Amino acid sequence: MSDSKIILVTTPNVPEKTVVRTLGLVRGNTIRARHVGKDIMAALRNLVGGEVTEYAKLLAESREQALDRMIAEAEKLDANAIIGIQFQTSVIMGGAAEMMAYGTAVIIE
């Protein structure tokens, strides 16, 4: 995660703060493909049950990269907060998926 001082919330506002200016939509995305070696480990884990840590790690890395890219867009707008943050995933092709983070860049006081 970046060292940004931008406040990130999934809510439509920041408690005890007032939105003084709305700067617009910001987003960040990444597209990741599965790794054959990790697919084999995941298939074996599927046989015995339990968390598929290989995919959990891939998803966590994708989420952080999408957040970092969204924050970078907000910084270009001189925002000090992003409100209403949401995540979305979509399959691009077999074995590859997109992770997107988006929200509204604002200035709060």
Q: What is residue 53's predicted lDDT score, i.e. its pLDDT?
A: 78
Q: What is residue 89's predicted lDDT score, i.e. its pLDDT?
A: 93
Domain extent listing, the chain: 7-33+65-108
Residue positions counted in the chain? 109
Range 8-44 burial, b when 16+ CB lie within 10 A, else e? bbeeeebeeeeeeeebeebbbbbebeeeeeeeeebee
- What are the pLDDT digits (tens) for 41-95? 666 666 666 777 777 888 899 999 999 999 999 999 999 999 999 999 998 887 7
Q: What is residue 39's predicted lDDT score, i.e. its pLDDT?
A: 60
CATH class in words for 7-33+65-108: alpha beta
Q: What is residue 45's predicted lDDT score, i.e. its pLDDT?
A: 62
Apex 34 CA angle, 33 and 35, nearest 5: 120
Task: Break the chain down into helix, strand, coil percent, rounded to 5.
Answer: 35, 40, 25
Question: Token pair 């790794």 is at which residue?
Answer: 35
